[in-house]
Structure 1
Amino acid sequence: MNMLNKKFLLTIAFIILAVLIPVVIKAPYQLHILILIIIWAIIGTSWNLLGGYAGQVSFGHAAFFGLGAYSAGLLTLHCALSPWWGILLGPLVAALAALPIGMICFRLRGPYFALAMLALGEIFRLVFLNLTDFTNGAKGILIMPAITNKMFYYYTGLGMLALTLLATYLIVNSKIGYYLVSIREDQDAATSLGIPTTLYKNLALLPSAFFTGLAGAFYMNYVAFIDPNIVFNLTNVSVMVILVVMLGGVATTWGPTIGAAIYIFLGEYFRTTLGSANVLIFGILVCLIIMFLPNGIAGELDLLKRLTQRKKASLSGGV
């Protein structure tokens, strides 16, 4: 059985497992944890397209997440519409905001780009915090959820994650994906070969912002409360999404989903068992994983497979 067939069968097995989990696990708390994993997996997969494959490390994805969440919340606050319309509006608003952001920030490279994105994320937080007549400021937006069935949210989120994974896979395995990897490896060389690097970095940013906004809109519908300090949070959104991707594996298909599962499961376990010491222990564990598994869980598995294949090829060649 070749590698393509193995990957296909593993993907089918994962899909079946994901669909059947709520049949076995019906407790509200466990379903809540699974829904959080799905939300973080969507954000992580979105960030991975820009930060992993294109090599543009963004510390500002909280801006797109917050715009998606507020697009849903403001529809209810000002228009008396269902926040579920935000599932359509939120991603579009985030993608439209990404256009001028990309035009400005992609003039910078490396740490300067990262710092510019960080600053933009904080600017959005402060703007939404101070526009009290429009956003309710620090009081936030509270809605009455029309649907309270967690199984509904699980399957809805799972469908969104599947869409995000499919779109990312198609982009990465297209001409755009190959250009993104070349930009990540050596932007100057890519430019010398005639690749319009700014254009293709924007082509990575747009779907990345789109699906992050989708996750934000879904988060608003699920949690039913947001404020600027929650959804535009630098530490709890922009930094944590990078941590999720690093744990799972940068520039891998399933890495962000694996990282989200590790992050949410361990975070909840340490919070309930260790109390106030959970942040310290969790931080130490993350540092150990990064030190000894620098490619992340999925990345190390891929590396191990490649090394095994090379060893088999060399042995067969020697024979």
Structure 2
Amino acid sequence: MVSRMNTKIFDVKNLILGALCVVFILLPIVPGALPSSFTTHVWILILLFASMSQAWNILGGYCGQVSFGHSVFFGIGAYGAGLAVVIFKSAPWPGMVLGAIVAAIVAILISWPVFKLSGHYFAIATFAIVEIFNRLFMVWYFKSPITGYQVGGALGLDYPLVDEGWKMFTWYDSKTGYYYGALLLFILVFGVVRWIERHRFGYYLRAVREGQETAESLGVNSTAVKLTAMGVSAFLTALCGAFFVQYNFRVDPPMVMSLDMSMKFVLVTILGGSGTLFGPLLGAAVLIPLQEYTRAFWGGLGGGVDLMIFGLLIVLVVIKQPRGIMGIITDVIRSIKKRKGM
């Protein structure tokens, strides 16, 4: 019994995740590890997109419900923090939490009818949801009863100058604060997913993914499982959106509620390996440096080059190894074990 408990506590995934967290924590304080502000920026985006994709992975990877509508929840979280700072002149934290709660509620409400669809019909419905919310926020008009400031729909929200520090989660001269903020978000999201993996709910998710009818015949309430997965996924996605707006100092509907943003959730996860703990991190570690460095080296052309290369990578991965980079790593490990006779 004791040995089994020790195996559970000190299993390989937990050790790897813990080691990654230690490395990320030490990275900014090691001289030369992050030589420039741009390098720090790239690491921040890797952690952010890994967290975003991992939040999507709960629903799309573990539960098998491929959604292209997660940019809606991302945008609600972004507007939650943005409204708190710009409209109500407060710290972003209450807006972050409230935005995440609202995103979870909206996700459950819109998912109730949508989950009656399956396969590509479900995916098409989520496309439509993005367009609906994008148009709603484009024409949204709101006047603050406190400051009189108006939300200008398509114009979005521009952040005012505020005091630096953790209270307002804002820094101007250094990106180190944002880096540690992204790291905390990364630890939270990956910790939640790791907990789900090891507990009953995670088995329910995988059962629904492998066969909804079979899971229901064994007593699993597939509707409740999918709605719970959607709510948790939307909540974590909204927190990522709140971080995004704090980091960019502005938000508008095309910036956060777009099909382009929704596709990034999906493609990063598929590239790394959907339904796996480390797949979203591997996908982000490939896509983000590719995206940022091609834009830095080739200017405006980089925006097209990175997408072409990324598209080619997706095609190769889907053809050669549908399980993504994690599948390739698993095959290599198995091959090495066979050679060694293990």
Deviation by residue 1:199-230 (Cα, 9 ceiling, x = unmatched): 00111111100100000011111111110011
Q: 2:19 aligns with which of 2, 7, 13?
A: 13
* % same residue: 38
| Equivalent residue, structure 2, for 1:38 | 47
Does the 8 A contact of 1:37 with 1:261 survive in 2?
Answer: yes
Q: 2:85 aligns with which of 76, 85, 88?
A: 76
| Equivalent residue, structure 1, for 2:220 | 195
Q: 1:299 aligns with which of 318, 321, 327?
A: 327
Q: Could you tell me how far 1:308 is from its partner in structure 2?
A: 5.8
Q: How many residues align?
A: 312
Does the 8 A contact of 1:252 with 1:299 survive in 2?
Answer: no
Deviation by residue 1:53-99 (Cα, 9 ceiling, x = unmatched): 00000000000000000011112333222223322222111111112
Q: Could you tell me how far 1:178 is from its partner in structure 2?
A: 0.6
Does the 8 A contact of 2:287 with 2:310 survive in 1?
Answer: no
Does the 8 A contact of 1:48 with 1:245 survive in 2?
Answer: yes
Equivalent runs, 1:21-170 vs 2, <5 Å: 21-23=27-29, 24-133=33-142, 135-144=151-160, 146=163, 147-148=170-171, 149-170=174-195
Counterpart check, 1:290 vs 2:314: no
Structure 1, unpaired ranges of 5+: none
Code of the residue aligned with 2:152 in structure 1: it is: N
| Equivalent residue, structure 2, for 1:271 | 295
Please give the alpha-carbon distance, in whole angstroms, between the structure 2 residues aligned to 1:240 and 1:133.
30
Equivalent runs, 1:140-289 vs 2, <5 Å: 140-144=156-160, 146=163, 147-148=170-171, 149-235=174-260, 237-275=261-299, 276=301, 277-278=304-305, 279-289=307-317
Please give the alpha-carbon distance, in whole angstroms, between the structure 1 residues aligned to 2:310 and 2:334.
31
Q: Calculate the TM-score normalised by the size of structure 1.
A: 0.90
Structure 2, unpaired ranges of 5+: 1-6, 144-150, 164-169
Please give the alpha-carbon distance, in whole angstroms, between the structure 2 residues aligned to 1:156 and 1:165.
14
**Which structure is higher in helix share?**
1
Any idea what SS the aligned residue of 2:288 has? helix
Please give the alpha-carbon distance, in whole angstroms, between the structure 1 residues aligned to 2:184 and 2:35.
19
Does the 8 A contact of 1:37 with 1:260 survive in 2?
Answer: yes
Q: Calculate the TM-score normalised by the size of structure 2.
A: 0.85
Farther-moved stretch of structure 1 (24-33 vs 280-289) = 280-289
Q: Could you tell me how far 1:5 is from its partner in structure 2?
A: 4.6
